[in-house]
Structure formats: structure tokens, C-alpha cells
Structure 1
Amino acid sequence: MPDTIIYLMRHGETAENACRPFILQGNSVNGPLSENGRRQAAALATLLESVPFKAFFASPMLRAQQTAQAAIGPRPLTLETMKAFEEVNVGQWERLSWNQIKEQYPRESAEFLANPGTVPYYGGESYVDVQKRTLPVLEDLAWKYVGHTIGIVAHNVVNKSILASILQLPIARARTLHQTNCCVNIIRWTENGPEVEVLNSDLHVRHLPQTL
């Protein structure tokens, strides 16, 4: 049986990504790409020009939608929105820096940082929660598009959760994976299951300002 190739990407930079100190940006922040983010998306589109995508999917978040539309370019493809790939719900910690979180939520933040896999963001989701809503959808797409290549634009925690599962990492280690803005991961889905062929490739945007 032929394999399915999945390009799993992160969206381009937003104003929140560029904030220092770093602040959390979950599923209740829905701003557009920054000027630099649009440049990153254009660089991603150039990288993907020759990739024969059969279908393209994205989170409903504006930053993912804009990145995906840029990546599709002139292809005669209709972008399909998948709520399963929406960014993690970070609850009460939205738009807060970690220093602010530790100061305002000392007990809850300590519990989260001690076990970021199963303990949720305060009032939100955990990495395990994200895996539960993304992995079944990803597998369905892999079998639906056997023998083809598909693209997915999602988010930092979403990608980390998916990749940790495929790499067979303990969920607590998902947070240690890196996913730079507009990075590319390539997953090959075989009859024996998925394997990661490319992880956090970002050479195409390294000439641009880098954020988290």
C-alpha cells in the first residue's frame, strides 16, 4: 500500500509571538500575521512550490488560515478548515508571560511545570487533551489520502503534541520540542503507522527575524 505524506507546519509570526517577554497565545487570541509573519509565509510558499499537494487543511485561527492560503498559492485547492487543529486552550493564562503566571498563579503554574503533559493550562487544556482531539483526525486524513501528499497548518502546542506521539516520547517531553514560526515537519504514514522524516525544518525563514 502506498504511503501518505503529511506536511505539518506551524503558522507564521504574529504580534503576540514577537512580544518580549514571551506571552502565551492560545485559542482565544485570533490576530493576523505580523508583517514579518507574512514574509515567513511567503518564504514557506516558495519552499513548497513543487510539492504536489492533494489537499490542504488548517486550524480555524486566522494566523493559520493566512499561512495556509499563502502556502497553497496558485494551486486549484480549496483550504479545508479543521477545528481539531485549533491551538490549545490556555485558559486564564492567555496573553500572560511566565513571570506573570508564576506570580499570579504560583500553585497552579508549579503543578503545570512539574507535569506539563497531563496537567492542563489553568482553566484550559493539557497536552493530552490536545492529542485526544488531533490524533484521530490526523489518522483519518492519512488513510483518506493514501498515496498522496497533504498539507496541514496548525500551531505550536498542537504540533508538539502530535509529534511527541509519533516520536513515542513521554507526553511530559512534548513541551521540549521546538516549533519555530512557519517550520515544516514531514510525516510519512505507512501501513505500519506514522514516522517523522523531517522535524522543525526552518532554513527557509532563518534569514528573517526569529521568534518563538
Structure 2
Amino acid sequence: MTARPTRLFFIRHAEVAIPYQRVFAGRLDIPLSEEGHRQAAALAPWLARLAPDALYASPMLRVRQTLQPWRDLGSPEPIFRPELREVDFGEWTGVAWDDVQPRFGQSPWDWLRLLEQNAIRNAEPFDSFRNRVAACLQQILDQHPGRRIAVLCHGGVIRMALAWLCQWPLAATAVLAVDYASVTTVTLHNPRVELELLNYQPWRPIP
């Protein structure tokens, strides 16, 4: 008998407050924008229909605010895990995208590669970032084999999760879009990994 696959639904938080858009927010505990609250409310019915067996989430404010409309509709009780917090960007924290190059002589487009190389001063060490995300995901997978699990977190964490699950370098995920209030689904067939859905925004009208 073929074992039932495990499905992970990675959900990025909704749009953040305007002063923090196109900013390396990282560990700043920032709120959603008005548009972000609208996105979260529009996403919630789709998540309610998804009805996962378990829900894990980052404890950061922007994730909690994204989660609230779903909780109001009867989500599973969230399990908040600090390992799912966004990466610490060190001296880039709070710096606008367009200011990184003039201030630090580094391209913001290279942020994933620079994290891998531990080349952003005072940022979270790459091995620490990878190990905490991987350990958390492994615990989730061990606890819920063959189940459907939602993980509501951050863009950097989702990229690290994909890199770990697919055995990619983190920098390889730079070509992938992981937008606000999007869903990315990975199905684990052990040992095969299937990337089923990438950057799906169910609340956005199809053109």
C-alpha cells in the first residue's frame, strides 16, 4: 500500500504597512497595511475551505494579523513557533531596498546569496537560519505524516523551506516569486518532492 503523501501549505503574510514596503524588515515586528488587512480578509475563506489538519505560524505581528480573519472563520488552533520568524537582516534591518547599494556597496537583489555567504554584517548566520527552519519543519513532518499542514510565515522562511525540501541552494530561490498573501504548496511523496503550487493568490481576480 502506498503511503499517503504529506502536503505543506506555505502562506506568506499579507502586505505590510506602507513605511515598511520595499524595506528589509526582518525581525521588526510591524503591522499590516490597510490593503494587507483586506488581503487577509479575502484570503481567509479560501483557507477555511482548505481545512488543514494542523496550523503552524510565526509569532510575529504581521503573521498574527494575517491569521486573524481565518481564526474568526474557525481555523485550526495555531501553534506558534519562534523558529518560523523572519531572518534577521543585521545592519540591513529597516533599510529601504533602494538604499542598500549606496549605503553598503551591496546589491539588494543579491540578498539570498549574501545571506548564504554570511556577507551581511550582523545578520543571522546562514547555518543558524537554515537549521532552525529545517528542524522545525522536520518536527512538523514527523508529527503529522500523511496529513495536510498549513504554515503561515514569511517570504525568507518560505524560500528557506523550499531550499531545504528541494535540496537547492537558497540563492536558487531568487527566481521564484513569493508575494504577499500567497500560497505555495509542496507535496512530499518520500523521497520525491512535488512543488504543486507556487505564489498562488486565491483572492486576486484572474485577468
Unpaired runs of 5+ in structure 1? 208-212
Relative to structure 1, is the Cα distance of residues 111 and 12 closer, same or farther in structure 2, using a 3 angstrom cutoff?
closer
Distance 2:146 2:164 in 1: 22
**Equivalent position of 2:4 in the other structure:** 2
Task: Indicate the larger mover: 155-164 or 69-78.
Answer: 69-78
The yes-or-no answer on 1:113 pairing with 2:113 is no
| Secondary structure of the structure 2 residue equivalent to 1:48 | helix
Kindly indicate whether the alpha-carbon contact (under 8 Å) linking 2:48 and 2:74 is maintained by their aligned counterparts in 1. no
Quote the Cα distance in structure 1 between the aligned partners of 2:108 and 2:71: 41
The structure with the greater share of residues assigned to helix is 2
List aligned pairs for 1:117-132, cutoff 5 A. Answer: 117-120=115-118, 121-125=120-124, 128-132=127-131
> Which structure 2 residues correspond to residues 162-181 of structure 1 after superposition, within 5 A?
162-181=161-180
Superposed CA deviations along residues 146-167 of structure 1, whole A, max 9, x for unmatched, are: 2321111110111111113333
SS of alignment partner, residue 116 of structure 2: coil
Q: Which runs of 5+ in 2 are unaligned?
A: none
Residues 67, 140 of structure 1: alpha-carbon distance in 2 compared, 3 angstrom cutoff? same
Cα distance between partner residues in 2 of 1:39 and 1:119: 37
Q: CA deviation at 1:102?
A: 1.8
Cα root mean square deviation, aligned: 2.5
Q: Which amino acid aligns with 2:160?
A: S
- After superposition, the C-alpha distances for 1:154-211 in whole angstroms (9 at most, x for unaligned) are 101111111133334332222332110010011112332543211111242358xxxx
Q: TM-score, normalised by structure 1?
A: 0.83
Confirm whether residue 24 of structure 1 aligns to residue 24 of structure 2: yes
TM-score when normalising by structure 2: 0.85
* Structure 1 contact 33–66 (Cα < 8 Å) conserved: yes
Distance 2:127 2:179 in 1: 21
